[in-house]
Structure 1
Amino acid sequence: MRLTLKQQMFLAPATVLTLTTVLVLFLQYTYWDLSVKRQEQAKVSQTFVALAEADLAAQRMQGLVAHISRRGQLDLTALETLTELHYHLSGAVRRILDLMILPESTRALLKQAVTDLDPHHGFDGERFLSALGLLRPQLVALAEQSQRRREQLRDVHVQNIDQLVARTALLTIIGIGTAIPLGTLLALFFARRLLRRIKTLSDSAGRIARGDLTPPPAPQRVQDELDDLAVSINQMTERLIRVVSTEKLLEGAEEERRRIAMDLHDQSLSDLSDILRALQNLRVREDCCEDVGKIEEDLQRAITNLRDVMDNLHPQTLEILGLGAALQSHFERHLDKDHLPEYHLYISPQVEGLGLSRLCQLSLYRIALEAVHNVIKHAKASRYEVSLDRRDDGVVLVVEDNGCGFRPPAPDASGGRGLNNIRERARARGARVQWGASRFTSGTRFELTLPLNGAPRQERDKGMIEHGTG
C-alpha cells in the first residue's frame, strides 16, 4: 500500500484521534440511553401525580355526592364545588390518557366516567355514585401499577448511574491506555523508519560527494517521496559515473597515445632509421645485392610493426567485418602461438545481429583483449576460454582460465591499471563486471554483462574516439 510522507506523519495522531472519537461516541450513546430512561422515569412520576390527583378529586366528589344525597337538597355552593372537582378530575384523566398506554376498554371507561360525572349534564346521585364506583377502583389499580413502575425505574436509575460511572472509568482507562501507547508506537515506528531511510540517502549522497561513485541501491517499488529521491540519486549517480568514466577514458586515451608515440619512436622509427643508414651506405659500395635483400627484410618488418601499432590504435577489421570477426582475427594473428596458452573462442551469431553501436563494439573489443592480456600475463594458465553470447536482455562476455587464480578486486579498490580500465570502460557503457572462481579446477572467471537498453543503437557523440587497450 502506497503511503506518502504526509500520510505516514499523520497516521499516529489520526489513530489516537480515531480511538478517542470512538470512546467519546460510546460515552455519548451511554448518556443518551440514560437520558431516555430519565425521561421515562419523569413520565411515570407525572402519571402517578395525575392518578393521585384524579383519585383525590373522585374521592371528594364521592363524599360530596353522598352528603347531597342524604340531605336531599343541592345548593349553589355544593354545585360549584362539584363543578370544580369535576374540572380537576377531567384534567387529571386527560393527562393520564396522554401519559399511559392503556387498553381501549380502560380508556373508554375513564372517558365515560368523566362524562357521567359532569354536573353540566344534570345531577343524578345514583348516576354519580355508580360512575365513581367504577372509576375509583380503576384509578387505584392504575396508581399501584404506576407506583411499582416508578420504584422499578428508580432502582434501575441508581444501578445505571453506578454502572455508568464504572463503565466510563473503565472505558476511559482502556481507551486512553490503548490510544496513547498505540499512537506512540506508530509514531516511533514511522519516525525510525523515515530517519533510517533519510540517513541511508544522506550517507549515499555524502559518499558520492567524497568521490565514491558506487550507485546506491534503487528501491524495487516506489511508494513515497523518499523512494522517488532514492531513484533520482541512483540515476544521478549512474549518469555521473558515465561522465567521470568518459573523462577517465579520455585521459586513458591520451596516455595510450603517448605510449603509441613512444612505440613508434622506439621501434618503428628506429627500424626506419637503420634502413635509412643502410641505404646511405649502399651509395658508396658496389657489391650491394646481399645487403639490399637484408634491407628489404628490415623494411618489411618495420612496415609490419607499424601496421600492428596502427591496428592496436584502431582496428580496421572491427569497422569492416564487425566485433566477432575482429576478435577472431586478433586471436589468430597474435594469440595463436606455441608459447602462449591454448584458447577457445566462441562468438554467438545472435550478438552479430544486435546492431550494437560502434562505441559498444569497441568497448567490448578492448575489454576482451584486456581480460585476455591479464590471463596471459598474470594467470599462469595453460588454457582459457572466451565467449560472447546473448543472455535474456543483455550481452555477456566471459573470459575463464585454469590458472592460479587471484583475489577478486573490491568495488572501491583501485586495482591495477588494466583492471581499472576494464571497470571504467564497463561503467561508461552501463555494464556490470564481476570476478569469481572458474569452472575449471582452478583459475578465475571474468564476466561482463551489458544490458541492451544500456547500449545505444546510434552514437550521439561523434567526436569521442577511444584509443589503445590500456
Structure 2
Amino acid sequence: MPRLPFVYQLALAPAVVIALLVVLIGYSLFGLAQIRHENEVVRQWVRITDHLHLAMEAGYRLQKIATHQFEPAAGPEYLEQATILSGNLLYPEVLYKMPSHLRALVEKELPIINSRDGFNPVPAKTALVALMPKLEAFNGALWDGKRAAYANYYTRLNSVIANLAETSLYILLACLLLAVVLSAITVRSVRTRLGTLARQTRLLCSGNLVPVDSPSRIRDEFDELAHCVADMTRRLLNVVAVEKVLQGAEHERKRIAMDLHDQALADLTAAARMLESAEKHPLGGAEQAQQLLMLGQEIGNISTGIRRIIDDLHPQTLDILGLEAATRSFLERNATASMDWALHFEQAAEQALTEFQRVNLFRIISESATNVLQHAHASVGEIALRIVDDHMVLTIDDDGIGLAADAISGTPGHGLSNLRQRARAMGAVFSLEHSRFNTGTRLDFRWLLAASRETSFHP
C-alpha cells in the first residue's frame, strides 16, 4: 500500500469524521422528513374530518329548513348553509378520500340542493335524504381511518425516533473510534519518520558519517527533508573523502621522505664517504678495484631504492602492461612462499577502465593484498575483475581468519577506512562479505559502467 503524503495523513482523520457527520446529518434530515410526513398525514385526517363535520352540520340544517317548508325569511340561511355544504364536500382532500359512488352521488345531488331558481323543498329534501346517510357512513369510515392513522402515527413516530437515535449513536461512536485509530496511525507514522530524520541528523552532527538513502520520489515535506539530509550527508562525505585523500597524500609524502632519508640518502652518504676516502687515501691495484666495486654496488643499491620508491608511487608496469601485469608484479615482490594468489582479469573489463580508475584500483588491490598478507593468515587469495550486468566488479577473496562481525556489518575500521574512501572517490559501492572459500573474507567493489551511466541519464 503506497504511503500517503504528510498533508493527506493529517487530513485523513478529520476528513473521515466530517464524511461520517455528513452522513449523520443526511440521515437525520431523512428522519425529520419522515416525521414531517407522519405529522402531515395526521393533519390531513384532521382537516378531512373537520370539513366533513361542517358539511354534515350544514346538511342537517338544510334538512330541517326543507322539512318545515320554505319561508322567504329562511332563504338567506338556506343559501348560506348550502354554500357551506358544497364548499366542504368539494374540498379536494375530502373528494380524494370519497369512494367513487359517493362522489358521483354528490355531483348529482349538490346542483339540486344549491338550486337558486324558485326554491322547491321537495327535490331538495329528497336529495338530502339520499345524500346524508351516505355521508354519515362515509364519516364513520373516516373516523375509523383517523383513529388508525393516529395509532400508526405514534408507532411510526417512535420507530423513526428510535432508529434516528440509534443510528446517530452508532455513527458518533464510529466517528470517535475512527478518529482515534486514524490519529494514532498518523502520529505513529509521523513519529517514525521524524525519528528516522532525527537519527540521521544526530549521526550527521556527531560526525559519524554514513551514506543515507535518498527517497525515490518526493511526496511531501518529510521526503524533502530526507532528501536534503541525504544530500548534505553525501556532500560531507565528499568533503571528508577529500580530507582523507589529502591526509593520505601527506602520509605518502612522509613515507617517501622517510624512504629517501633512510635508504637513498643514507646510501648516497655512504657512497660520498667512500669517494672522499678514495681521494684522501688513493690506493692502487687490487685494493682500488675492490673499492670501485663496492662504490658501484652502493650506486646500484641507490638506483634500486629510488626505482622502488618510484614504482610505489606509480608503477611503470601499470602504464605499459596494464592493471593485471602491475598486480602480478606487486604480488611477486611482496607475496610470501606460504600463500598463492590467483588472478582473473577480463580483458574487456580492463579496457573499459579510465586512467584514474586503473590507478585507484591498483592502490585498492595493493592495500587489500597487504592487509591480507599481514593479518589474514591466509594460504590462498583470489583477485577478479569482471563486468556483471552493466557493472564493473572487483572482488578480493582469501581463506584467512576473516574479520570481526562489526566489520562485516559495515562499521568502518582503521584498516578499511582508506578502502572505503578510495571506493567512494570513484563512485563505487564497497561491501564486506564472507569469502567463497570455507573461511575468510571477500572485499567487493562495484560501480556502474560509464556507458551505462550515460544511457541512464539520457534515455
Equivalence map 1:31-430=2 (5 Å): 31-68=32-69, 74-96=70-92, 100-102=96-98, 106-219=102-215, 222-283=218-279, 284-287=282-285, 288-319=288-319, 322-332=322-332, 334-335=333-334, 339=337, 341-354=339-352, 356-410=353-407, 415-416=413-414, 418-430=415-427
CA gap of 1:138–1:393, structure 2 versus 1, over 3 A, is farther
CA gap of 1:264–1:374, structure 2 versus 1, over 3 A, is same
- Code of the residue aligned with 1:8 in structure 2: it is Q
Determine the C-alpha separation between the residues in 1 that align with 2:31 and 2:96.
26
CA gap of 1:422–1:290, structure 2 versus 1, over 3 A, is same
- Code of the residue aligned with 1:449 in structure 2: it is R
Per-residue CA distance 1:146-204 (angstroms, 9 max, x = gap): 22221122112211232233223322322222211220121122112202221221121
Per-residue CA distance 1:56-104 (angstroms, 9 max, x = gap): 2122212221221xxxxx3211222221111111111221566625565
CA gap of 1:390–1:100, structure 2 versus 1, over 3 A, is same
Determine the C-alpha separation between the residues in 2 that align with 1:3 and 1:258.
56
| Contact 2:390/2:452, CA 8 A, preserved across alignment | no
CA gap of 1:213–1:449, structure 2 versus 1, over 3 A, is same
- Please give the secondary structure, in 1, of the residue aligned with 2:383: strand
- Code of the residue aligned with 1:286 in structure 2: it is G
> Relative CO higher for 1 or 2, CA cutoff 8 Å, sep ≥ 6?
1
Tell me the equivalent position of 1:461. Answer: none
- Code of the residue aligned with 1:309 in structure 2: it is I
CA RMSD of aligned residues (A): 2.8
- Please give the secondary structure, in 2, of the residue aligned with 1:120: coil
CA gap of 1:101–1:329, structure 2 versus 1, over 3 A, is farther
Per-residue CA distance 1:225-279 (angstroms, 9 max, x = gap): 2123223312321221121111111111101111111101111222233333334
CA gap of 1:3–1:414, structure 2 versus 1, over 3 A, is closer
* Consecutive unaligned residues in structure 1, runs of 5 or more: 69-73, 458-470
CA gap of 1:137–1:361, structure 2 versus 1, over 3 A, is farther
TM-score by length of 2: 0.88
* Deviation, structure 1 residue 402: 2.1
- Code of the residue aligned with 1:37 in structure 2: it is E
Percent identity (aligned): 31
CA gap of 1:455–1:266, structure 2 versus 1, over 3 A, is farther
- Code of the residue aligned with 2:10 in structure 1: it is M
Tell me the equivalent position of 1:468. Answer: none
* Consecutive unaligned residues in structure 2, runs of 5 or more: 455-459
User: Greater CA deviation, 43-52 or 389-398?
Assistant: 389-398
* Deviation, structure 1 residue 14: 2.2
* Deviation, structure 1 residue 427: 3.0
| Contact 1:402/1:444, CA 8 A, preserved across alignment | yes
Determine the C-alpha separation between the residues in 1 that align with 2:322 and 2:103.
113
TM-score by length of 1: 0.86
